[in-house]
Amino acid sequence: MHPDLEHLMVADRYDRQIRDLRKKKATQLDILAKAEARDQAARERLAGLVASIDANKARQRELNREVESYEARRRSATRILENGTGDAAAAERQLASVAEVLDTLETELLEKMEALEELESERTQAAADAADAAAFLEAEKAGHDGKIAALKAKFTAILPEREATLALLDKTILGRYETLLSRRGRAIAEIVDGSCSGCQRVVRQQNIADLQRGLMYACDGCGRWLLPPDPG
């Protein structure tokens, strides 16, 4: 194999390792971000339910006061009718009006009580979810810095080895390598079943023979340097 192609293979191996490290770092950052988002959403849901429960209870207190007020009016009108004093017709009208209002108030009060039971149940589940989310976030935070530091250490170790390998290449080859790397992700490709693994372009037998004799050859389709087929 051509010496420059051997150097390119080594550089390619380093670059694939670097891409893998970057992907793992991005994944780790994404995991932490999702854990933070989950925790935030769980806390907001719990806070929203607590606020709804407080509002429900406040409305129930208002309704109870209104019911007591109208109950007092009903008792007053009933006394007038029972004692035969005062305006009986007005008392009758008041009783009818009070009965209608009380029916509305008591219906709403019952609805609020039923809703409160459901809200309390949801709050219990939301509190459990918030606790789970908080615990998961803390666990991720505990290991996050260590994982990122480990990935950074591997990257720091690979980088000088990559640079040392690239320094062995001619400037023209180096420039082309970097260009192919940025545009296509990889600068070299294997020959698989007679075709370039990068673009599936068929490679002529003569070119394969040249590669096996130690020459360098770039794919006519994608421009990547081709590796000779594995004899095995």
Report pLDDT digits (tens) over 161-201: 999 999 999 999 999 999 999 999 999 999 999 999 999 99
Select from 218, 155, 223, 220 the least CA-distant residue to 184: 223
125 and 156, same domain (yes or no) = yes
Q: Does residue 1 sit within a domain?
A: no
Do residue 133 and residue 34 come from a single domain? yes
Residue 150 and residue 183 share a domain: no
Examine the fold and report which residue of 128, 160, 192 is the final residue of a domain before the chain moves on: 160
Residue pair 7/168 in contact by the 8 Å Cβ criterion: yes
For residues 119 and 193, state if they share a domain: no
184 and 139 together in one domain: no
In the prediction, which pLDDT does 232 show?
A: 56
* Residues 108 and 175 reside in one and the same domain: no
| 145 shares a domain with 62 | yes
CATH at residue 152:
1.10.287.620
Considering the domain boundaries, does residue 88 fall inside one? yes
* Residue 209: domain span: 170-232
Mean pLDDT calculated for residue range 53-72? 96
* Backbone angle region of 202, left / alpha / beta, with phi > 0 → left and psi within -120 to 50 → alpha: beta
Considering 141, 160, 179, which residue would you say is the last residue of a domain? 160
Q: Domain check: are 51 and 81 in the same one?
A: yes
Task: Supply the mean pLDDT for the chain.
Answer: 93
How close are the terminal C-alpha atoms of the chain, in Å?
16
The total number of structural domains in the chain stands at 2
> Do 135 and 39 share a domain, yes or no?
yes
Listed residues 160, 183, 202: the one ending a domain: 160
**Residue 205 to residues 127, 145, 209, 230, Cα–Cα distance (Å):** 69, 52, 6, 14
Token pair of 174, please? 């180096």
Residue 128 domain flag = yes
Please indicate, yes or no, if residue 53 is contained in any of the structural domains.
Answer: yes
Predicted TM-score (pTM) above 0.95? no
- Say yes or no: 150 and 198 in one domain: no
Phi-psi region of 86 (alpha: psi -120 to 50; beta: other; left: phi over 0): left
94-106 per-residue burial string, b: 16 or more CB within 10 A, e: under 16:
bbeebeebbeebe
Give which of 65, 46, 42, 66 is closest to 54, Cα–Cα: 46
Shared-domain flag, residues 51 and 149: yes
Each residue's pLDDT tens digit, 78-114: 999 888 888 889 999 999 999 999 999 999 999 999 9
What tens digit of pLDDT does each residue of 1-19 get? 889 999 999 999 999 999 9
Euclidean distance between CA atoms 52 and 49, whole angstroms: 5
